[in-house]
């Protein structure tokens, strides 16, 4: 069964963080969804996939907070609104 979550991350992010860190990790875990920089210090990530795999992504995010000077990570359930077609995309 697939699970979808919305993750809001706050902090100071290095250039290319969404592509080199978030997208790469989501793709390597086979997750689908989107990531978007909402403001300079706020990123919104929508993930859909196996609950265990999503937990793995969250563990990876928590373990590497120093890379982006992450100050806050919020996780909440999310109802899938559209078909991501098995792909993880970064919205610019």
pLDDT over 90 percentage in the chain: 65
- Residue 4, pLDDT above cutoff 90: yes
In terms of pLDDT, which residue wins out, 33 or 20? 33
Using DSSP's 3-state secondary structure scheme, residue 70 falls into: strand
Q: Write the DSSP string, 14-66.
A: -TTHIIIIIIHHHHHTT-EEEEEEEETTEEEEEEEE-HHHHHHHHHHHHHTHH
Specify the CATH number for 3-83; select among 3.90.1170.50, 1.10.3720.10, 3.10.20.30, 3.30.70.100.
3.30.70.100
- Top-confidence residue, 62 or 36: 36
User: Per-residue confidence at 16, pLDDT binned at 50, 70, 90?
Assistant: confident
Predicted model pTM? 0.91
pLDDT tens track for 24-48:
999 999 999 999 999 999 999 999 9
């Amino acid at each position: 069964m697939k699970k979808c979550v919305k993750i809001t991350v706050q902090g100071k992010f290095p250039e290319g963080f969404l592509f080199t860190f978030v997208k790469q990790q989501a793709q390597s875990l086979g997750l689908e969804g989107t990531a978007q920089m909402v403001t300079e210090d706020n990123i919104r990530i929508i993930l859909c996939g196996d609950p265990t795999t999503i937990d793995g992504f969250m563990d990876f995010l928590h373990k590497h907070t120093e890379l982006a000077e992450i100050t806050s990570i919020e996780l909440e359930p999310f109802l899938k609104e559209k078909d991501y077609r098995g792909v993880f995309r970064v919205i610019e």
